[in-house]
A and B are shown apart, each in its own frame.
Chain A
Amino acid sequence: MSITKYKTLKDVPREEFLVSGTSLCAGCGALLVIRLFHKALGDNVVWVNAAGCVTLMATFPYTPLKSSWFYTAMGSAPAGAQGIRDALDILIKKGKIDPTENLKVVVVTGDGAASDIGLQSTSGAIHRNLDFFYLCVDNEAYGNTGFQASSSSPIGSGTTTTRPTHLYPMGNFLPKKDLFEIWRSHRPPYVATISPSHVVDMFRKVEKSLNFKGPKLFLALSPCPTGWGAEVSESVKLARLAVETGIWPLKEAVYGEVTHTYIPPKRRPVEDYLKVQRRFAHLFKPVKNEGAIAEIQKQVDEYWSKVVH
């Protein structure tokens, strides 16, 4: 990557834009992503949120943010962002606010709003080349309502709507929707995947995206101890495992051109990631479902065989 001010974790700015005391679960991966992402963005931010866990972060009359917050309906966060962007542009043009008071408009939603309910308004906003950021905190299900499957839930995962049964021993048998590719197909200036475990990578990506005008889209893996059935203390460890097993590739696409920013030198078996989460427990007990695990491994291997020649 080109010149960056982020070389090590020591370069992460000390200033906090998100204070403590939210009602999000202990060990919430999404909260960590938002905290770090905000540090990378800096100040002068307005967040536009669609219904999801993150909505509980700023429940009236409390907010953990030192920046502004705008809450919209589940399908319309990018439309809300369009309104705020237009208003800011007009106010600046008319000289009613100083250009130094300009704000970065950042949509933050979960995977349900991003992949299912809000996909069309996102597609519209990217198509119109709206100058905004989109941060999707992907916990791979509808966490806020009790962890029902979304189109972002991975194959083989148990959710409250995809319990493993004798008919469907794998639990969720549908593949995870590839939101990175859906976004990329619009050829926006910048799309990236990020992980809370790989902080320098995240900061460099946000830093790079700041150079572009237009849609800048981020897909963040957000471990969910409550829904995934994992130790609250191991959220970051799980995110790291997802990267090291190759399940969560770290990559970016500039005007559609894909670059992998981190290639695991020796990918760990997917089993290491699956076996520590209750949502995959049925793949291991009472009888180990070798076929299902091999299928998940095969999909990961096939993905990387196209990346690493």
Chain B
Amino acid sequence: MERGHIFNPNYVLVTSPSLLFDPTVKPLDGMVEGSVLFVNSSKDVPIVDSKKIRVIYRDVTDLALKHVGKDILSATMGAVACKLSGLIGLQSLVDSVSEELEELGLEPELIEKNIQLAKECYSSVESISLCGLEYRPLHNVVEVRYMGERGIPDLLSMGNTALRKTGSWRVLKPLIDRNLCTACGICYIYCPESCISLDEQGYPLINYDSCKGCLVCAVECPMKAIKAERESVWS
């Protein structure tokens, strides 16, 4: 079993379609013809890569919300990986979900919900055999591509993490109801990510490019003017 950096993956599981085109993640790198890509998404996302990879889409976040009530995806992706590879049976999957979550100190009811979730994910995809796939040596030279102005790190640039769109982390999106908002500025104070700014009248504006969807703003809002909505569109 290869551990650590996998240069030529046979199976790639992507938890969010927003990661597909993130230049710092590059999940499709090293995928060879005939390998399998699983994307957690309700709809097809155009894959720019022209290689003949087999792509499967399923919205497992939806299943997680249904079974567990939270967007926690470990059990889902584990289950999908087991099934796709065809190497790990359902009972082994259930045993390891149970064992790992017990180790984390989760309550039995929550573990049971995760097992149900894993089972549904397991049955939602088919195994895909990889016969005929060409063999590649494991120790490749890592290819570093020149990427325009990002190619050369600039030690003196300040505040450049803003280039990284952490909005792709978000599952629930905070939405401010302007009719309820009193421009108190509390959401702005408590946003850990500096994602909320105030306009001239003192009303908050959320920077959705970077908002990770922690929803501290929604909990702290004294007027309950911030609602959370499932993130729908990712381009």
Contacts and interface: CB of A to CB of B under 8 A. Distances in A.
Interface of A: 9-10, 12, 14, 16, 18-23, 26-29, 31-32, 35-36, 58, 60-67, 158, 163-164, 196, 199, 225, 229, 232-237, 278, 281-282, 285
Given A21-B165, A21-B210, A26-B169, A16 B192 contact: no
B185 A29 contact: no
Interface of B is mostly: loop
Contact of A61 (B160, B191, B214): B160
Contacts of B155: 61
B234 interface: no
Contact of A63 (B159, B186, B194, B216): B159
A215 B220 CA distance: 34
Contact of B193 (A10, A31, A61, A66): A31
Contact of B189 (A12, A60, A163, A232): A12
Contact of A19 (B104, B162, B214, B216): B162
Q: Bin chain B's interface residue count.
A: 35 or more
A239 to B, nearest CB: 10
Contacts of B165: 21
B216 A282 contact: no
Contacts of A21: 161-166, 210
Nearest to A29: B192
Ordered nearest first, which 8 A-B pairs have the shortest CB separation? A61-B153, A20-B210, A21-B161, A27-B214, A233-B215, A32-B192, A26-B212, A26-B214
Contacts of A229: 105
Nearest to B159: A19
Given A10-B185, A26-B169, A233-B218, A62 B161 contact: yes
A18 B193 CA distance: 8
A29 B106 CA distance: 23
Interface of B: 104-107, 153-155, 157-166, 169, 184-186, 189-195, 197-198, 207, 209-216, 218-220
Contact of B105 (A60, A61, A163): A163
B190 A236 contact: yes
A31 B192 CA distance: 6
A282 B192 CA distance: 29
A32 B212 CA distance: 13
Given A12-B185, A199-B189, A236-B216, 15 more contacts: A18-B159, A18-B194, A21-B163, A26-B169, A26-B214, A27-B214, A32-B192, A58-B161, A64-B162, A65-B159, A164-B105, A199-B190, A233-B216, A233-B218, A235-B214
Given A9-B189, A64-B161, A282-B105, A236 B220 contact: yes
Contacts of B209: 20
A9 B166 contact: no
B216 A235 contact: yes
Contacts of B159: 18-19, 63-66
Contacts of B190: 32, 196, 199, 236
B132 to A, nearest CB: 39
Contact of B161 (A20, A196, A232, A237): A20
A23 B105 CA distance: 26
Nearest to B228: A233
A237 B219 contact: yes
Contacts of A64: 159, 161-162, 194
B186 A61 contact: no
Nearest to B213: A26
B107 to A, nearest CB: 6
Given A27-B214, A233-B219, A158 B193 contact: no
B161 A63 contact: yes
Contacts of A36: 189
A61 B160 CA distance: 8
B194 A16 contact: yes
A7 to B, nearest CB: 14
Contacts of B160: 61-63
Contacts of B193: 20, 22, 26, 31
A94 B185 CA distance: 46
Contacts of B169: 26
A307 to B, nearest CB: 28
B194 to A, nearest CB: 5
Most buried by B among A26, A27, A29, A225: A26
Given A18-B194, A31-B192, A32-B192, A63 B214 contact: no
Contacts of B210: 20-21
Contacts of B215: 27, 232-233
A53 B196 CA distance: 23
A281 B107 contact: yes
Contacts of B162: 19-21, 64
Contacts of A232: 214-216
B194 A234 contact: no
B151 to A, nearest CB: 10
A158 B197 CA distance: 37
A66 B166 contact: no
B158 A65 contact: yes
